[in-house]
Amino acid sequence: MAQAPARNTIPSVRHRLAHRHCLLEGALQVTDRRVAATLMRNESDNREFIHRIDLEDRICFVNDAWMTFADENNWSASAARVLGTPLMSHITDPETRHIYRLLIDRTRNTGRRSRFCYRCDSPDLRRFMEMRISRLPRGQVEFRSRALRLERREPVPVLDPALRQRSRDVLEMCGWCKDVRVQALWLELEEAVQRLGILAEAALPQISHGICPTCSERLKDAGGAA
Ligand SMILES: [Zn+2]
């Protein structure tokens, strides 16, 4: 585990967290092929990723597994510097920030634990994750995340962070279940890719993360599912 650095060492972290979803946004994305290769060999991942925030919602602790995960996702140089940054600075989508606010406040105020499931996919793996949120002394809140189940799939190139050439089109993806918006519908990624004819395009679209209505309701109710 690492100690919190001085605050003025922090700002350069943010751009490295472009694929921040899975652990911090409830949902850092597993984006590194080395991770996927390891998981495909093992077909399971028993690690538990833990991060905590202090009373001011600044990240004050990450465990060794969390640090290793960060390293696997190629932001090792900045992982320790995540400590001391506001959790919300890693969450770009306003609705997701709102959900986090609700969950954190409720956890602090009631001591009730929250538990919810979310997806943390790589191009060739569906990762079904679980997050548990609980209150600690001194106003700290702890987030524990682990993989419940892994499923191999044909790689979905649109999720590959190494893909630098993207069109101006934007694919709206739920950061929690990884469904994709197709007009009024939210569809499983593979179906959406097919429906939208994305693979036929010369360049794959950019991805913007938000939250689908189903996950929004589900997460607002998550406090009762502990
Ligand atoms: Zn969703």
The predicted pLDDT at position 13 comes to 33
Same domain as 50, residue 17: yes
Residues with Cβ within 8 Å of 128's Cβ and at least 6 positions away in sequence, in order, are 117, 119, 147, 148, 149, 150, 151
Distance 211 CA to ligand 1 centre (A): 5
Q: Beta 59-62 vs 141-152: how paired, if at all?
A: unpaired
Is 84 inside a domain boundary?
yes
The predicted pLDDT at position 36 comes to 52
What pLDDT, in 10s, does the model give residues 194-216?
A: 888 876 777 788 888 889 999 99
Is 19 inside a domain boundary?
yes
Res. 15: pLDDT tops 60: no
Same domain as 85, residue 25: yes
Average pLDDT value over all residues in the chain: 78
Distance 21 CA to ligand 1 centre (A): 13
Distance 138 CA to ligand 1 centre (A): 32
Same domain as 52, residue 98: yes
Distance 69 CA to ligand 1 centre (A): 23
| Ordered alpha helix ranges (H), the chain | 13-16, 21-24, 33-42, 64-72, 76-79, 94-110, 189-195, 213-220
Distance 178 CA to ligand 1 centre (A): 6
Is 225 inside a domain boundary?
no
What pLDDT, in 10s, does the model give residues 77-90?
A: 456 678 999 999 88
Task: Pick the closest to residue 193 from 182, 184, 203 (CA basis).
Answer: 182
Distance 7 CA to ligand 1 centre (A): 34
What pLDDT, in 10s, does the model give residues 124-166?
A: 888 898 999 999 999 999 999 998 988 988 888 887 767 777 8
Domain residue limits at 84: 7-155
Same domain as 175, residue 150: no
Distance 85 CA to ligand 1 centre (A): 26
Q: What's the DSSP call for residue 58?
A: B
Is 220 inside a domain boundary?
no
Distance 5 CA to ligand 1 centre (A): 34
The predicted pLDDT at position 104 comes to 94
Same domain as 69, residue 33: yes
Same domain as 58, residue 13: yes
Cα–Cα distance for residue pair 156/78, rounded to 1 Å: 27
Distance 124 CA to ligand 1 centre (A): 19
